[in-house]
Amino acid sequence: MTIRIDDSLMYRDRLDGLHGLDPALRDTMEERFQVIRADIAGRRKSGEYGFESLGRQDAVVASIEQWAALQRGRFDHLLILGIGGSALGAKAMLTALKGSAWNEWDAGRRDNWPTLTVLENVDPVTVLGTLDRLDPRRTLVNVISKSGGTAETLAQYLIVREWLDRSVATDAKDHLVITTDPERGALRALAGSEGITTFAVPPEVGGRFSVLTAVGLVPAAILGIDIAELLAGAAEAVDAALADQLADNAAARWAMLQWQAHATRAANVHVLMPYSDRLRDFAEWYRQLWAESLGKRLDRDGTEVFRGPTPVGAVGATDQHSQVQLFIEGPFDKTITFIRICDTVDMLTIPGRDGLGPDMSYLVGKTLGGLLDVQFVATREALRSQGRMSSTIEIDTLDARTLGHLFMFFQLATGYAGAWYGVNPFDQPGVELGKVLTFEAMGKDGF
């Protein structure tokens, strides 16, 4: 299995005997799970769970790979314009699979794949700074908007388009690729009228569930990431999440435990804490997925419930010197999910030098990866001893396949969590309201 999950530390009998979930849940939730499964099976038929088919997209992979191969060496930079679900996945992939120093490497070390910059805000200082830094003649711009109508992204496009036109004039369309709805929206119309290359976002997949569509696959392919492997990992996660027993279905079980912790132990804060810098942006991606999917005013019956957990991202060991004090001694309102990567444990031996006293010599000959792992084990044990619930997702190595599996695992868990919480995880009326009010304030007709 690509990922392994240990959720034993969610239960009272493994904590301090006072806090945590009732161990009897291990049995009693099986029955309830069958109701959840039946509910989801019905919704699947009506197309709500469209993201589950993203593990198998051979034709899409072939067309993206073919196109990406033609771009290789033509550009030094990939600039993404997008926001929310149209931005966070690409950032998470770059950091996870290329490392946070990628943009500082020269082209040779990057094997001629471009740098990546994601403009995910309309802060003019950031936009000006980015355009000042990049050479438009060597930049490919990927405009990403599922709806094709998001004000932030369209405003960025107009500014960036003028920047391109000034330097590359009639060639501007060769510096653009648009990812949007197959038929609707302003970007689709624009691409059609100007003959700009486009990739389609399947209408049945929501924005925050779209990292494994062209939204994430186009940037991934341009950066030299093996997108077939990403999807193979995702397909594994889907297969595992079809298991009809809760005990065998890790995604449904993890979601159930978060919901139970919230419903019965008032743990409304759900922390994702990878012990890896490479998963820092992944935690940010999870935050949007969990928050926007589960934070809802209405339940499935239309009753006002104001429901939803608050997701938090943290990174070990860095946050041991920041948020972890709160996690260990603050209110009993949290669950922590750790992600541990096994193959870095032996990396980077700590060298000795003459004259070291016992305060430093204990480090010599150990590895930095080993220190990181010891920090994880110690923090988990400190939490456990204080009655704090946690789960651990363990992976052997962080590569395209495991990352694809992780993306899909959390999407599946979110789909299940919607059912456990009794809310629609696929809509976002609050976000839409903000969009409408922005249009109104900006004087857009038709709202």
> What is the binding site for ligand PA5 (CB under 6 A)?
83-86, 145-147, 150, 153, 206-208, 292, 428, 431
For the chain, the residue count is: 447
Q: How far is the CB of 201 from ligand PA5 (least distance, A)?
A: 8
H or E stretch covering 179: strand 176-180
**Structure letter (DSSP) for residue 196:** -
Q: Which of 31, 45, 304, 321 is catalytic?
A: 321
Q: Is 73 exposed, middle or buried (0-12, 13-18, 19+ CB in 10 A)?
A: exposed
115/153 with CB nearer ligand PA5: 153
CB of 342 to ligand PA5, least distance (A): 32
What CA–CA distance (Å, rounded) separates 258 from 41? 21
- Known catalytic residue at 292: yes
Closest CA to 292 of 439, 94, 148, 86: 86
Contact (CB, 8 A) for 378 and 209: no
Cβ atoms within 10 A of the Cβ of 288, count? 18
Is the bond leading into 317 cis (omega within 30 degrees of zero)? yes
* Beta bridge partners of residue 74, listed in sequence order: none
b/e sequence 241-273, b meaning 16+ C-beta within 10 Å = beeeebeebbbbbbbbbbbbbbeebebbbbbbb
Min dist CB 60 to ligand PA5, Å, is 18
Q: Report the alpha-carbon distance of residue 230 to residue 308 in Å, rounded.
A: 29
Q: CB of 447: closest distance to ligand PA5 in angstroms?
A: 16
Closest CB to ligand PA5 among 21 and 177?
Answer: 177
Q: Find the shortest distance in angstroms from Cβ 85 to ligand PA5.
A: 3
- Which residue among 292, 296, 334, 405 is the active-site one? 292
Q: Which is nearer to ligand PA5, 153 or 258 (CB)?
A: 153
Which residues carry out catalysis?
A: 292, 321, 435
